[in-house]
Amino acid sequence: MPKRDFLQIPDLTADGIGSLLELAGRMKAGSYRERPLVGKTLAMVFAKSSTRTRVSFEVGAYQLGGHALFLSSRDLQIGRGEPIKDTARVLSRYVDGIMIRTFAHADVVELARHATVPVINGLTDFLHPCQILADVMTMQEAFGGWQGRVVAWVGDGNNVANSWLHAAGVLGFELRVACPEGYEPDREVFERAKRTAKVSVYEDPEDAVRGAHVVTTDVWASMGQEAEVDARMLAFKGYNVDAQLMSLASPDAIFLHCLPAHRGEEVSDAVIEGPQSRAFDQAENRLHVQKALMVELMGGEGGR
């Protein structure tokens, strides 16, 4: 069996996401007791900060009987210029899977091309697919599925927004993005989603949120955009999810945020702490979906 990577949501089909979430649901309910990662190691390469991704992968690997290694790219030889392709081949001789969080998406593609073990994208400047697996699980818990549901994204057309578009394309729900001009999601990702789902971009957040079942947002300046913070604070003025905006959504709407959140910027304290917020269930679901993913990619008999 060739190794399988998870670099983007379209690496899975709708059925594949369905069975992954079914397994994640059993894990969350406590009815899954197997330990298919006994004797196996996940290398976790981080070039950016992380709370959720690092801890959920590490704890998840442990709960499945395996082990996870935290590797800061600053301390690896990669930080001193060792080629990605060499790092990929060397790590593949030691470990059974590699999770990487970095800047350029092309670096993750390169790593996956040269690694002989599964590679999982733990966030790039372009995509955040593990996050969106947790998000669609949270959506499924709230509504039983995605059919006929509308998701409104408010704010920056960033890595998380691009992965939401991927999910809309694969699962077929409606996605409305509200963002200022110049901060739209990736054009190609948008066009691809448009082939199989109703997706649209608005300038006015109210147009996107009206009647939506999920309202979601993210920070205005992502990791790596620190130099743009001042310009972004101005550009995103008015793109904050507050109680007034939430009141336009469907009465049963939920609020999602991948976290970390900046209260008073993209979301008000009242919304993230309010009854419609599922942000902390969403964070918990990272653990369950990633455990299911590790079982699928790394849990088989096949080794290096």
Rg (alpha carbons) of the chain, rounded to whole number? 19
Q: What angle do CA 13, 193, 130 make, to 5 degrees?
A: 50
Which among ligand NVA, ligand CP, none contacts residue 159 (Cβ within 5 to 8 A by kind)?
ligand NVA
Angle of helix 129-143 relative to helix 159-171, nearest 10 degrees?
A: 50
CB of residue 39 to ligand CP, shortest distance in Å: 27
Residue number, nearest CB to ligand NVA: 222
Distances (CA, A) of 5 to 71, 119, 121, 268, 269: 19, 5, 8, 37, 37
| Token code pair at residue 165 | 């578009």
| Token code pair at residue 218 | 């993210």
* Annotation says 131 is catalytic: yes
Among 219, 253, 254, 287, binds ligand NVA (CB under 6 A): 219
Binding site for ligand CP (CB under 6 A): 50-53, 123, 131, 258-259
CB of residue 292 to ligand CP, shortest distance in Å: 17
CB of residue 257 to ligand CP, shortest distance in Å: 9
Among 138, 159, 162, 290, binds ligand NVA (CB under 6 A): 159
What single-letter DSSP state applies at residue 174?
E
Among 24, 127, 134, 160, binds ligand NVA (CB under 6 A): 160
Query: Strands 254-257, 214-217: parallel, antiparallel or unpaired by DSSP?
Result: parallel
CB of residue 260 to ligand CP, shortest distance in Å: 6
| Token code pair at residue 118 | 């599964």
Q: Footprint of ligand NVA on this chain (CB under 6 A)?
A: 123, 158-160, 218-219, 222-223, 258
